[in-house]
Amino acid sequence: MGILLAFSAAVLFAFSAILIRLALEHLRPTTSTVLSLLSGLVLVMSLALGFHWGVIKALSFGMFFWFFLSGLLNFPLGRFMNFSSVQRLGVSRALPVINSAPLFAATFAIIFLGEEMTAPLLIGTIAVMGGIILIVSEK
Partner 1 sequence: MNSGFPRSLALGYLLALGAAVSYGGSQVVAKKIVEDVPPLVGAAFALFFGTIILGVLVARDVSHSNPAPKKAYFWAGLAGLFASSGVAAMFLALDAAPVVVVAPVISINPLFAILLSQIFIRRLERISWRLVAGAVMIAVGVSVITISRI
Site for partner 1 in 106-125 (CB under 8 A): 106-109, 112-113, 115, 118, 120-121, 123-125
Q: Does the footprint of partner 1 cover residue 57 (CB under 8 A)? A: no
| Shortest Å distance, C-beta 115 to partner 1 | 7
Q: How far, in Å, CA of 128 to CA of 133, rounded?
A: 9
Site for partner 1 in 73-112 (CB under 8 A): 73-82, 84-85, 87-109, 112
| Shortest Å distance, C-beta 38 to partner 1 | 6
Residues that bind partner 1 (rule: CB under 8 A) add up to a total of 116
Q: How far, in Å, CA of 23 to CA of 31, rounded?
A: 10
Q: Does the footprint of partner 1 cover residue 61 (CB under 8 A)? A: no
Residues in the chain: 139
Q: How far, in Å, CA of 18 to CA of 26, rounded?
A: 14
Q: 80, 30 in Cβ contact below 8 A?
A: yes
